[in-house]
Amino acid sequence: MRKEHTYTDIIKKFILYGESDENIRAVLIVGSRARQDKPADKWSDLDLVIFANNPDQLLLNTDWIERIDRPYITFLEQTAVGEGKERRVLFEDGLDVDFAVLPSKSINKFINTSEVQEVLSRGNRVLIDKDDITRNLINKTPVNNFIKPTYDDLINDINDFWYHAVWAAKKLCRGEILIAKSVCDGYMKQLLIKMIKLQSKIKNGVQFDTWHGYRFFEEWANPYVIDKFKNVFSYYDEQDIWSALKNTMILYREISVDVSTLLKYKYPHEADRFASDFIEKLQVERKM
């Protein structure tokens, strides 16, 4: 019977390789396999941050990966946080490893990035440190990155949303279905999630954890909001996109008005009305 591959095997093999490669100066685990809160489950990947004198030796070549295990799929992409690059690899049994490779000299910049601090504060584990450069990464205290938005910042986001609602409607009228769908289900949803997070922080306290990106949305978001999300995404169909657009607008209005009230900011009703009326007119004309 074939022995199942495990992340423990990958870690052990990588440590052996990393210790022998002078280019690699330090390595740590971040993410779910280093967290106490929301620890790894059977679906979790392995996130490794590598500090190397010459990152391109690892990013642009794949021979070294063979020394760890056989890669079935590998490619490069930007890291989820920070400004680095990572090589993503799928090994035997679907083991998913992200090798984020950064210059050794950039570690201080890495530490002082707010998004990175949040990830590190959730847990990190040092595997290799040849130059004692990771001492400040261990035992990072939890970081609260919440900053109350100014009136101008909030109004800018709200106007951004309503502008793109009109833009999506125009694309629908032109027959550019895919662009309209991508705006409604992509950028507008990012603005919606941002407002939902803001509302959650204001109502539950700044320490309330909304994680980063869309992580654990189903656990921290209000059940009412989660239920509304059943109707804010669309099929690749013009009428369904109109419906999703309208439902997204209704939910965004409800939440952004509430946030404005909680912050004692004046909600831009005129922008909302202009966009909503214009979109209604476009939809009527489209049906004629």
For residue 267, give every residue at least 6 positions away whose Cβ sits within 8 Å of its Cβ, in sequence order, or none.
Answer: 158, 256, 257, 260, 261
Alpha-carbon gap, residue 129 to 101, rounded angstroms:
14
Q: Which domain holds residue 126?
A: 7-137
Q: CA-to-CA distance for 220 and 211, rounded, in angstroms?
A: 9
Same domain assignment for residues 219 and 271: yes
166 has pLDDT over 80: yes
Instruction: Look at residue 144 in the predicted model and tell me its pLDDT.
Output: 61
Residues 231 and 164 in one domain: yes
Q: Considering 71, 105, 137, which residue would you say is the last residue of a domain?
A: 137
Q: What is the pLDDT of residue 118?
A: 81
Residue 92 lies in a domain: yes
The predicted-structure confidence for 60-113, as pLDDT tens digits, reads as follows 999 999 999 999 999 999 987 767 899 999 999 999 999 999 999 888 777 777
Query: Residues 23, 53: contact at Cβ < 8 Å?
Result: yes
- Ranges 17-21, 65-69, 83-87, 239-243: which has the least confidence: 83-87
b vs e for 214-248, b when ≥16 Cβ sit within 10 Å of the residue's Cβ?
Answer: eeebeebbeeebeebbeebebeeebeebbebbbbb
Q: How far is CA 41 from CA 44, 45, 247, in A?
A: 5, 9, 34
Q: Does residue 56 lie within any of the structural domains?
A: yes
Q: When comparing pLDDT for 143 and 270, which is higher?
A: 270
pTM for the model: 0.87
Find the CATH number of the domain harbouring 163.
1.20.120.330
Q: What is the pLDDT of residue 142?
A: 53
Whether the pLDDT of residue 138 is over 60: the answer is: no
Same domain, 27 and 63: yes
Tokens 């949305």, located at residue = 217
**Quick check: 146 pLDDT over 70?**
yes
CATH number of the domain that 78 lies in? 3.30.460.10
Cβ–Cβ under 8 Å, residues 117 and 177:
no
Sign of CA dihedral 109, 115, 121, 124: negative
Question: Which of 104, 137, 170 is the C-terminal boundary of a domain?
Answer: 137
Rg (CA), the chain: 23
Number of domains in the chain: 2
133 and 184 together in one domain: no
pLDDT, the chain, mean: 92
Partners of residue 30 on adjacent β-strands: 47, 124
**Are 81 and 124 within one domain?**
yes
143 — pLDDT class (breaks 50, 70, 90): low
Query: How far apart are alpha carbons 146 and 186 in whole angstroms?
Result: 23
Residues 197 and 274 in one domain: yes
Write the pLDDT tens digit of every residue in 111-136.
Answer: 777 778 888 888 899 999 999 988 76
